[in-house]
Amino acid sequence: MLDAPNHSTARFITFEGGEGVGKSTQVKRLLERLAARDVSAVRTREPGGTPKAEAIRSYILQGRSESWGPGAEAVLFASARHDHVTQLIAPNLARGTWVISDRFCDSTRAYQGLTGGVDEKLIDALEDLALDGHVPDLTIVLDMDPETAFKRVEMRAVEDGLALTGDRFEKEELDWHRRLRDGFLNIARNNPDRCVVLSAEQPEEHLAEDIWRVVSERFPELGAGAGA
């Protein structure tokens, strides 16, 4: 179980959950809310966030590491994460800038660990190495039925005029996505001080309100009863 760290002012918030649950949409909305309160914040994502980590991202998501197996992929995700933490997350927090990340270490635990079958001890060891003490202050787990989430992803592809090819994780079976959902819920249960689960099956605006309520209650420095 991860213990929450203590940064003096800047906070590190992560969003987790399955595909299409609305993480990117809500990361963007939270950034807007923070900007409206003059809170300096950066938006980032995993895998990725730095040039080296983005290179690992394309390698994995194009399916080029698939034959290596989930253990080796967990190592690749951790390598990308270590660069992301040391080159982007830690320096921003140190200069007082909040960091909001679309996915982080819980994705490795859920995808490669709980769903992919990689030993928990290896996941723990990689997490210690990659995070270097930079545990998120708050993790918002967006939860919804994977079938509904798939429909959203399909709709997005249609709106973007793209064929629904998907990356290698999006091609997994529905049953696998149900286990993944349970994996994220399990992580949240094991880390009650850090994680908050919110239903992603509500309109975008309502979910954004729920998230802001959680964030402003968790970080009272944002101002009492912080409204929009």
Positions touching ligand Z5A (CB under 6 A) are 19-25, 46-47, 77, 103, 107-108, 111-112, 152-153, 155-156, 167, 169-170, 203-204, 207
**E-assigned strand segments in the chain:** 12-16, 41-45, 98-102, 138-143, 195-199
20 or 90: whose CB is closer to ligand Z5A? 20
Tell me the backbone φ, ψ of residue 10, rounded to 5 degrees.
Answer: -70, 145
State in angstroms the smallest separation of the CB of 92 from ligand Z5A. Answer: 18
Cβ neighbors of 22 (< 8 A, separation 6 or more) are 142, 152, 200, 204, 207
State in angstroms the smallest separation of the CB of 18 from ligand Z5A. Answer: 7
State in angstroms the smallest separation of the CB of 193 from ligand Z5A. Answer: 22
State in angstroms the smallest separation of the CB of 67 from ligand Z5A. Answer: 15
CB atoms within 10 A of CB 111: 23
Cβ 196 vs Cβ 138: under 8 Å: yes
101, β-bridge pairs: 14, 44
State in angstroms the smallest separation of the CB of 40 from ligand Z5A. Answer: 23
Cβ 184 vs Cβ 17: under 8 Å: yes
159 or 221: whose CB is closer to ligand Z5A? 159
40 or 206: whose CB is closer to ligand Z5A? 206
CA-CA distance, 115 to 135, in Å (whole number)?
22
40 or 174: whose CB is closer to ligand Z5A? 174
163 or 224: whose CB is closer to ligand Z5A? 163
